Amino acid sequence: MALDQKLVVRFRDSRVLKGTSQDFSPNRDSFHLNLTSRSSTNQPIKISLEDLKGVFFVKDFVGKKAYQEDKGISNQEKTFYGERTIVHFKDGEILYGFTQDYAPGRLGFFLFPYDSQSNNLKLFAIHSFVTKVEFPLQICPFIRHSGML
């Protein structure tokens, strides 16, 4: 049996649902969500990825609204998990993190937050709701300190 994953599901129309899932896969076009607001006797609801902005895998459902995440732009010395990425969404939101599996032809891609204190563990961003993906140049510390720049 798969473990329940805590998810915050954000729709294109700004609706938000919170719940758990055992069958989310980036290779399928839908999954089932057990809503946190329903009793345990209710059936999970089917979520279609084409209706979404993204699926946020979270540490908890409360979050940290006042917390300002480190976007990782100024600190080039950190070790990264994947390629530094900036994602722009159709609703104007911009998220900063790292990705290893970006491919424009897929339904979406995973973005891992730069800030380990973020409530987000990762995000599955849906390509059709993304307006731009940037991969800022990372300056190698050896080159910078050796005077090669």
d(CA 117, CA 92): 23
Give pLDDT, residue 146: 40
- Per the structure, how many domains does the chain have? 1
For 125-134, what is each residue's pLDDT tens digit?
999 999 999 9
pLDDT tens string 90-147? 999 999 999 987 898 899 999 998 887 888 899 999 999 999 999 886 544 443 344 4
Look up the pTM and report it.
0.82
Task: Report DSSP state, residue 17.
Answer: E
pLDDT tops 90 at residue 41: no
- What is the reported pLDDT for 80? 57
